[in-house]
Amino acid sequence: MRFLPATAISRLRSSSSNRLLCFLRSSSLLPAAASTALSSHPTLQSSSDGDGNHQPQLLRWHRAILPLTLAASAGVFYFDLLHSPAYCDPLLHHQYGLTESTDLSKEVPNVFIEELRTILQDDMTLDYDERYFHGKPQNSFHKAVNVPDVVVYPRSQDDVQKIVIACNKYKVPVVPYGGATSIEGHTLAPNGGVCIDTSMMKNVKTLHIEDMDVVVEPGIGWMELNEYLKPYGLFFPLDPGPGATIGGMCATRCSGSLAVRYGTMKDNVISLQVVLGNGDIVKTASRARKSAAGYDLTRLIIGSEGTLGVITQVTLRLQKLPQHSVVAMCNFSTIKDAADVAIATMLSGIQVSRVELLDEVMIQAINFANGKELPEVPTMMFEFIGTEAYAREQTLLVQKIVSEHGGTDFVFVEDPDAKKELWKGMFG
Ligand SMILES: Cc1cc2nc3c(=O)[nH]c(=O)nc-3n(C[C@H](O)[C@H](O)[C@H](O)COP(=O)(O)OP(=O)(O)OC[C@H]3O[C@@H](n4cnc5c(N)ncnc54)[C@H](O)[C@@H]3O)c2cc1C
């Protein structure tokens, strides 16, 4: 572990920058380095379907992913992806969980599995159902072509570091895994390898109420975090898919319904700790908000989809729970009218907390799924927050803008249960 004392902020940041850049340089992210590194790798046999089923041509591990093995998201592994068929190509006969391809004697050396066992004892599994579960898309239309060879459940950054070092040593792919709510096949394991499930790393490490920030492990969900923060009058304002974890949210640079007011993940993460592909640990920034020494490594990692490292600790900016809120809904005959209202509202300086546009197809789906009878036309929902008087004043101003743009059926609610019902009725 290479943590530096909090006092050595600028030194830490520049050394972190160097370490990360060295890592990038030495990995095949840079094409020149890639060919050298690839040629020096031992050949590990890639999968093939012994039943003669037609499969996409898979690249071998050693050619297909970062030599230092910290590749992660399915679909972004291949640097020569352009030469390969897309995994979601409907013309290819994709299959879930090819048992043939997960024969450990072929895919990963037993000595590697033994090494993992020494690190993790029972916190790992070779069980096919578990591997299948982790390798199949939970919320994505992309199809799986393989499953991970092993699923591990680290409990600490130390565990993650040891796992990644072992993977690097045996050139085994790594797929970090959070809530699996991502919708673009991020957590698939086309080359098998090790799925690092972060569900045992859910601790809130430190809450700094006065600084309005919190330090957490990556496996905690945003919903769990908000439950924890509620008694303190604070909350974390990003709300992607229910079940999403903070680590996955960082890795996807996610947004949410409050993005119009609070921004996306890149605006709400202060600092990260990341285990790189060679096992080095990088701390990307200090907690101090007014600090800008060196490269902005935090934002390099945010949105890197598991390809640059495994996030092991996150410092998040928090917000005060609003005193009062109003939820409003209205209908339009065209999407353009609705979009014009959004633009006029933003330009008027009104600080909307949430704004969501649902087209008629989405309303049809909501009616179908939630037993509603909403008019099947473009629909907008807003939330306004602040003091009671302020939130209501903003609502009435937007009501006026809506009527100026041909919007109809403007309704708003303030009662907590009615708000929940209205918002939940729409988004489940
Ligand atoms: C109903 C629904 C609504 C949604 N709404 C939104 C929305 O409003 N806005 C939005 O942006 N997205 C939305 N999403 C998508 C999804 O919720 C987000 O992308 C979310 O950030 C994924 O988090 P996760 O924990 O599920 O990550 P996962 O799906 O587990 O992983 C996503 C990626 O992150 C990597 N990863 C996971 N953990 C780590 C880690 N510790 N270190 C490094 N890499 C890691 C994985 O390898 C993978 O590449 C929605 C999804 C659903 C199902």
Range of the domain at 295: 207-320
d(CA 42, CA 36): 13
Residue-level pLDDT at 107 = 66
In a domain, 2, yes or no: no
Ligand 1 site, residue 140, Cβ cutoff 6 A = no
CB contact at 8 A, 312 and 160: yes
Count: domains in the chain:
3
As a whole number of angstroms, the distance between CA 421 and CA 428 comes to 9
Give the 3-state secondary structure of residue 398. Answer: helix
What pLDDT is stored for residue 420 in this prediction?
A: 82
- Name the residue with the closest Cα to ligand 1, atom 51: 241
Query: Could you count the other beta carbons within 10 Å of the beta carbon of residue 292?
Result: 10
Q: Are residues 81 and 134 in the same domain?
A: yes
Q: What pLDDT is stored for residue 391 in this prediction?
A: 94
What's residue 294's pLDDT?
86
CA of 184 to the centre of ligand 1 (A): 9
Both 161 and 122 in a single domain? yes
Pair (115, 239) in one structural domain = no
User: Residue 310 Cα, ligand 1 centroid: separation in angstroms?
Assistant: 14
Residues 163 and 287 both lie in one domain: no
254 lines ligand 1 (CB under 6 A): yes
> Are residues 330 and 316 located together in one domain of the fold?
no
Q: Is residue 202 part of a domain?
A: no
Ligand 1 and 184: CB distance under 6 A: no
Residue 45 shares a structural domain with residue 193:
yes
Let me know whether 153 and 85 are in one domain. Answer: yes
The CA distance from 155 to 177, in Å, is: 14
pLDDT along the chain (428 residues), means of 10: 30 38 37 30 30 34 37 36 37 41 60 97 96 91 90 98 97 96 93 96 98 98 98 97 97 94 97 98 91 89 97 98 94 96 95 93 92 93 94 96 96 90 72
**pLDDT value of residue 428:** 63
| Residue 50 belongs to a domain | yes
Burial letters 195-208, b for 16+ CB under 10 A, else e? bbbbeebbeeeebe
**259 and 143 together in one domain:** no
Residue 4 lies in a domain: no
Q: Are residues 415 and 393 in the same domain?
A: yes
pLDDT given at position 139: 87
Q: Is residue 246 part of a domain?
A: yes
Residue nearest to ligand 1 atom 38, measured at CA:
248
| CB-neighbour burial class of residue 104 (10 A; exposed 0-12, middle 13-18, buried 19+) | middle
Q: Which of 283, 305, 320 is the last residue of a domain?
A: 320
Distance, C-alpha 73 to centroid of its chain: 10
Ligand 1 pocket member 316 (CB < 6 A): no
Domain end call among 259, 288, 320:
320
Residue 240 forms part of a structural domain: yes
Q: Alpha helices of 108-232 — where are they, by DSSP H?
A: 110-120, 128-135, 157-170, 222-229
Q: Is the pTM of this model over 0.85?
A: no
Residue 148 domain-assigned? yes
| Domain contains 1 | no
**Sheet of 379-386, strands arranged across:** 352-358, 379-386, 324-331, 408-413
CATH number of the domain at 282, please: 3.30.465.10
- Number of C-beta neighbours around residue 223 at 10 A: 15
Our answer on whether the CB atom of 182 is closer than 6 Å to any ligand 1 atom is yes
Same domain, 246 and 383: no
Domain boundary among 320, 346, 368: 320
Q: What pLDDT, on a 0 to 100 scale, did the predictor assign at position 291?
A: 77
* Ligand 1 pocket, residue 187 CB under 6 Å: yes
CATH number at residue 390: 3.30.70.2190
Please indicate, yes or no, whether residues 287 and 344 belong to a single structural domain of this protein. no
Residues contacting 243, CB < 8 A, separation 6+: 179, 180, 181, 221, 223
Given this model, what pLDDT does residue 412 score?
95
The predicted pLDDT at position 1 comes to 32
Does residue 84 sit in the same domain as residue 221?
no
Pull the structure tokens for residue 331.
């209908």
Return the CATH number at 96. 3.30.43.10
